[in-house]
Amino acid sequence: MTLNKPRYEGKRYRLDRPELLAPAGNLEKLKFAVHYGADAVYIGGQKYGLRSGADNFSFEEMREGVEFAARYGAKVFVATNIYAHNEDIEGLEAYLRKLEEVGIAAIIAADPAIVETAQRVAPGLEVHLSTQQSVLNWRTVQFWKEEGLPRVVLARETSLEEIAEIKSHVDIEIEAFIHGAMCSSFSGRCVLSNHFTDRDSNRGGCCQSCRWKYDLYVDGDTIAEDQEQPFTMGSKDLCMIRHIPELIEVGVDSFKIEGRMKSLHYVATVVNAYRQAIDAYFADPAGYELKPEWLEEVHKAANRPLNTGFFFDTPGTEDHIYEPEEKAAPYDFAGVVLEYDEQTGLAVIQQRNHFKPGQEIEFFGPGGTFFKQTVGELHDRDGQPLDAARHPLQEIVLRVSQPVKPMDMMRKRVR
């Protein structure tokens, strides 16, 4: 893995190459994101974030995550990106001071009250402006720079051409989402969830109502009987791995992957693919080519069909999902390598999904480690034979056809 080395300018840094910024819904995901190549990870604490459904982090877990990331030269950011109501203000100062104390590098904030409070009470925390502010133009970016912010996370609706214009006017770090779920509402500022379920999207409670199934009506009359399937209105997911050179050359400073609610397998797979693509570009910009296996890996973790969002044009009807579609990824996460014995060729696998002898499996790890094999005999730690790996987190002994390392992952084909 090629580490991202910051060079410091005053109180902040400039990156020699784009930062790969990964999501982490819990401490295990943070560790795997960093191990698989993330330069930085963004997480949620137990207050002030927009993913109340994620596991989220205690201060003790944050400290452990910061210490783990530091061993790889990586950083940890905390999302504090709610729009605060009056009752949210009490305790904010103490919370921000504690984030600074445990070693968090930056917060991601949208509400000016949180921005100002962090600058005043926790000056060691960088403040990055959240995409929830829907920044689309260079004058707004300039405004936030003058307010002392070193980085702006652009709205997902910003095009590549608009990013180039922003970078030509303002010397500031620009972060952009380059992979993951898109929202049917503008920059995620949705009120459907509030109306349908009394769960506030802008305070962390989005119920993903755009993914629900609906009946359609015309002039008060249902047309459901004419539908083979109920109607949905979600966006296809964003994927820019085909366009790494354009993103780098236009000046995006931080490549952000969406998905604090996504699985461990998703985080590791997607980070691994983008890490390899970014490093390959910087190793030989003139000779860079997209490797088919990077794109294949991304598709193995995809939850929905993929597109390029707003980067090149405004999404049309073909960029939305109007009826339930088959899950894109034909693979399931099956296990994590805990140990490997070179003498015997035996690996200890922590089970994450059912697998059994005779199934085809794949092993993969950071930097492109990859091979396939068929599951052979299975045993438990005591040497007792097993007809299948049935129990979550059970430790299974399996002979592997090639060397593996701790934190390598195993998946199985499901169709």
Q: Residues 32, 108: one domain?
A: yes
In terms of domains, do 174 and 66 share one? yes
pLDDT at 14: 43
DSSP string, 106-160: EEEE-SHHHHHHHHHH-TTSEEEE-GGG---SHHHHHHHHHTT-SEEE--TT--H
Same domain, 297 and 408: no
Q: In Å, how far are 43, 65, 70 from 78, measured between CA atoms? A: 5, 11, 15
Give the separation between CA 245 and CA 241, rounded to whole angstroms.
9
Tens-level pLDDT at each residue, the chain (415 residues)? 344 443 333 333 345 789 999 999 999 999 999 999 999 999 999 887 665 555 689 999 999 999 999 999 999 999 998 888 899 999 999 999 999 999 999 999 999 999 999 999 999 999 999 998 999 999 999 999 999 999 999 999 999 999 999 999 999 999 999 999 887 776 666 777 777 887 766 655 677 777 777 777 777 776 655 556 667 777 889 999 999 999 999 999 999 999 888 999 999 999 999 999 999 999 999 999 999 999 999 999 987 889 999 999 988 878 877 766 655 567 899 999 999 999 999 999 999 999 999 999 999 999 999 999 999 999 999 999 999 999 999 999 999 999 999 999 999 988 6
| Residue 222 belongs to some domain of the structure | no
For 284, phi then psi, to 5°, come to -160, 80
What is the SS3 assignment for 21? strand
406 and 279 inside one domain? no
- Distance CA(100)–CA(161), nearest Å, equals 36
**Pairing verdict, β 75-80 and 106-109:** parallel
Residues 247 and 150 in one domain: yes
Closest CA to 187 of 136, 141, 139: 136
Structure pTM? 0.90
Domain assignment present for 229: no
| Contact between 113 and 88 (Cβ < 8 Å) | no
Domain membership of residue 208 (yes or no) is no
Q: Domain limits at 395? A: 331-413
The domain boundary, picked from 261, 294, 321, lies at: 321
Question: What CATH number is attached to the domain comprising 371?
Answer: 2.40.30.10
Same domain, 280 and 174: yes
Does one domain contain both 18 and 38? yes
For residues 128 and 274, membership in a common domain is answered with yes
| CB-based burial label for 139 (10 Å; 0-12, 13-18, 19+) | exposed
Q: Does residue 230 sit within a domain?
A: no
Q: By 3-state DSSP, what share of the chain in percent is helix, strand and coil, each rounded to 5? A: 30, 25, 40
- pLDDT computed for residue 143 by the predictor: 98
Domain membership of residue 218 (yes or no) is no
CA of 13: how far to CAs of 68, 70, 113, 126, 280, in Å? 21, 16, 24, 10, 24
Is 290 part of a structural domain of the chain? yes
pLDDT at residue number 121: 98
The domain spanning residue 25 has which CATH number?
3.20.20.70
- Which residue, of 293, 321, 349, is where some domain finishes? 321
Q: Kindly state the helix (H) or strand (E) to which residue 264 belongs, with its residue range.
A: helix 264-283
Residue 113 has which token pair? 């009250």
Is position 27 within any domain?
Answer: yes
State whether 401 and 261 are in the same domain.
no
Number of domains in the chain: 2
Could you give the CA distance from residue 196 to residue 342 in angstroms, rounded to a whole number? 56
- Same domain assignment for residues 104 and 38: yes
Query: Residue 323, SS3?
Result: coil
- State whether 314 and 335 are in the same domain: no
- Output the pLDDT for position 321: 77
Based on the fold, state whether residues 308 and 337 are members of the same structural domain. Answer: no
Domain stops at, among 265, 296, 321: 321
Whether residue 408 lies inside any domain: the answer is yes
